[in-house]
Amino acid sequence: MESKDALATALTAALGAPITELTRLTAGASMESWAFQAADRPLILRRAPGGATDASGLGAISLSTEAATIDAARCAGVCAPDVVHVFAPDAPIGAGYVMNRLPGEALPPRLFRDSGLAPVLDALPERLAREMAAIHAVPTDSLPDLPHLGARALIAEYRKPYAALGQRRPVYELAFAWLEENCPERYDPPVLVHGDFRMGNLLIDHTGLTAVLDWELCHLGDPHQDLAYICAPSWRFGRREKTVGGIGALEPFLDAYEAASGHSVDRARFDVWRVLTTLFWGSACMSMLNAWRDGHERTVERAAIGRRISEVEIDLLLLLEELEAVESVPLPNIVAPATRPDGGPTSLAEMITALSEWNEGEVTANSQGRARFQSRIAANLLGQLAREASMGRDFAFAARDRLKALRMGEGALNDGLADGSVDWRGGPVWDHLRLSTVERLMIDQPRYPGLMDAQTRWFAT
Give the pLDDT score at 184. 94
Residue ranges for the chain with pLDDT beneath 50: 1
* Domain range 108-306, its CATH number among 3.30.300.30, 3.40.50.300, 3.90.1200.10, 3.30.1150.10: 3.90.1200.10
Q: What is the pLDDT of residues 62-100, one digit of tens each?
A: 999 999 999 999 999 999 999 999 998 888 888 899 999
CB neighbours of residue 44 within 10 Å: 18
CATH of 4-100, one of 3.30.200.20, 3.50.50.60, 3.40.50.150, 3.40.50.300: 3.30.200.20
Whether 56 contacts 63, CB under 8 Å: no
The confidence score (pLDDT) of residue 30 equals 67
Domain range summary for the chain, segments of one domain joined by +: 4-100, 108-306
pLDDT computed for residue 360 by the predictor: 93
pLDDT at 258: 98
Given phi > 0 = left and psi -120 to 50 = alpha, else beta, which region is 309?
A: alpha
pLDDT of residue 57: 57
Looking at residue 273, its pLDDT comes to 98
* Side chain identity at residue 26, one-letter code: T
Closest CA to 59 of 229, 306, 287: 287
The pLDDT score that the predictor gives to residue 366 is 92
- Same fold yes or no, 4-100 and 108-306: no
- Contact partners, residue 340, CB within 8 Å, separation at least 6: none
